[in-house]
Chain A
Amino acid sequence: MAELVLFIVFGIIAVVGGLAMVLHPNPVHGALGLMATMLSLAVFYVVNSGHFIAAVQVVVYAGAVMTLFLFVIMLIGVDKSENLEERLPLQRQLAIGLGVAFLVMIALIGGNAWITAPQAATEPNGSVEAIADLLFTEWLLPFEVTTLLLIIASVGAVALAQFDPRKREEEE
């Protein structure tokens, strides 16, 4: 019963946050809507016994990633309401039509083969120890590769941030 109430309340918050992100003309309000969605997803992770993942979701996603987004929105000064007028003919109708068609397709496929596996007797243990155990045994190589990915990302960000058109023209 408690899970049903949690699902309804935070499900509504998640969907409304997502819709606000897509429909609100001001990107700052959109970012806050997405933050609400991410926090309610963290609640769902806790309900689904993913305690560590829920903490990472709050710290990394709702914390770091969304703060970075808000920072960039403020930095490049698009924190004003933008004009949502569509310049291409039929683009908006087509986009909404495709979205609805996609949802109907997922619902049809899901209606046929939603979940065939039987419900497990025990819930997974989503504690830090259990995740670390898997991460440092079975998933060790992918985990090491992510370090390479993060180094590439930080070097790439530094290289892109240093780009200065005037300086470059002088060099050429």
Chain B
Amino acid sequence: MEVTAGWYLALGALLFVIGASGMLLRRNALVMFMSIELMLNAVNLTFVAIGRHVGDLNGQVAVFFVMVVAAAEVVVGLAIMIAVFRRRASASVDDLAMLKG
């Protein structure tokens, strides 16, 4: 049996759904952040698989840019998390209700 691009797309969809479910199920800000990373990785896999299917290298360049943006996002996101933790001493997003009216 030959592994076609569709198999990788199915795996990417499954990983994306796992990441989205993690976003909804968990309250720990760090785990929610890791779920976002999982979703980004799932999309990267589809880029590479489709790029191979149509014989185009631009998909891999797109993955490269996604990685750069994700690295920048992680730096700022974790800095925000540490700044919040200094004030609230908790990583749970349930405790961040300061803006509630």
Contacts and interface: CB of A to CB of B under 8 A. Distances in A.
Contacts of A161: 79, 82-83
Given A34-B34, A41-B45, A76 B85 contact: yes
Contacts of A82: 28, 92
A17 B63 CA distance: 21
Interface residues of A, number: 81
Interface string A89-113: 0011011101100110011001000
A149 B72 contact: yes
B48 A50 contact: yes
Interface in A5-43: 7, 11, 14-15, 18-19, 21-22, 27, 30-31, 34, 37-38, 41
Interface of B: 1-11, 13-22, 24-26, 28, 30-31, 33-35, 37-38, 41, 44-45, 48-61, 63-65, 67-76, 78-83, 85-87, 91-92, 94
A4 B1 contact: yes
B17 A99 contact: yes
A18 B38 contact: yes
A52 B60 contact: yes
B55 A30 contact: no
Given A45-B48, A98-B24, A30 B79 contact: no
